[in-house]
Amino acid sequence: MFDLATLRLLAEWEPIGPHDEALALSSANTFAAALNRHSDLKAEIGDHTYNNYIPVYVYMPAEVVRYAEPNGYMRANYQCVLLYFHHLAAVAAMGFSSWGETLRADGTWSSRGYGALDLPELISPSQIPSDMLRARISEALQGCGYLVASPDYLRQDAPQGFEPLQRSEGMPPWNKLFHLLFQFND
C-alpha cells in the first residue's frame, strides 16, 4: 500500500501530498453525513484532538442496549463498527468496538467512554455481518475518497528501524504497520 518513503513521512506525522487534517475532517464528515441520512443508522465522530486519525463510530440505534440504574441514571451501550480516518493520508482502519454513555435522571449527559481499535479488532468490510450496514458503509467510503487498509496489511511488521513517533493505539509492542499509522499524542 505505502512504500518506505511514504511510511517514513506518515510515521513522522507528515502529510501525503495535499492531504491534511482539514481534508480528513471534511472526509469524515462526508462519510458520517451519508450514513446519518438513514434513520436506522448513526455515525458519530469521536474526539480526535490528540490523534493523527479521526474515529467514527457507526451503529444501529435499534440495537443500543439501555438500562436504568437505581439512582435514576440511564446507561446506554452502543456496539459499533469503528473507523479511524487518517489525518495525513486517505487510508482508514476498521474494526468492531463499542462505546457507552450515562445520562442523569434529568436527561443531561453525565459521562461517555469510547472504545478503540487494536490488532484483534481489525476487520475488512466483508466481515461486517449485516448486508445493509456493509453496503452503506462501503457506499459512504466511496463518497469520501478513503480506502480501508486490510487487516493483513495493518498486522504486518513495521519496517526495520520504524517506530511510532508518539504513542500508538493498542497494547505495546507497537511494532506493526497499524501502530505506525494510527498514533496519538497525550
Whether residue 35 has pLDDT greater than 90: yes
Mean pLDDT of 102-120: 88
pLDDT > 90 fraction of the chain, expressed in percent and rounded: 62
Residue 151 has pLDDT above 90, yes or no: yes
pLDDT at 30: 98
The angle subtended at Cα 116 by Cα 113 and Cα 122, nearest 5°, is: 150
Q: What percent of the chain has pLDDT over 70?
A: 95
**Any residues with CB less than 8 A from the CB of 22 and at least 6 apart, and which?**
none
71 versus 56: which is more confidently predicted?
A: 56
Q: Pick the more confident residue, 170 or 55.
A: 55
Task: Tell me whether strands 147-148 and 91-103 are parallel, antiparallel or unpaired.
Answer: parallel
Mean pLDDT of the chain: 90
Task: Assign 183 a pLDDT band (cuts: 50, 70, 90).
Answer: confident
Q: Are 164 and 180 in contact (CB under 8 A)?
A: yes
CA 35/CA 20 separation, integer angstroms: 23
Which of these ranges, 13-17, 123-127, 136-140, has the smallest mean pLDDT? 13-17
Flag whether pLDDT at 166 surpasses 70. no
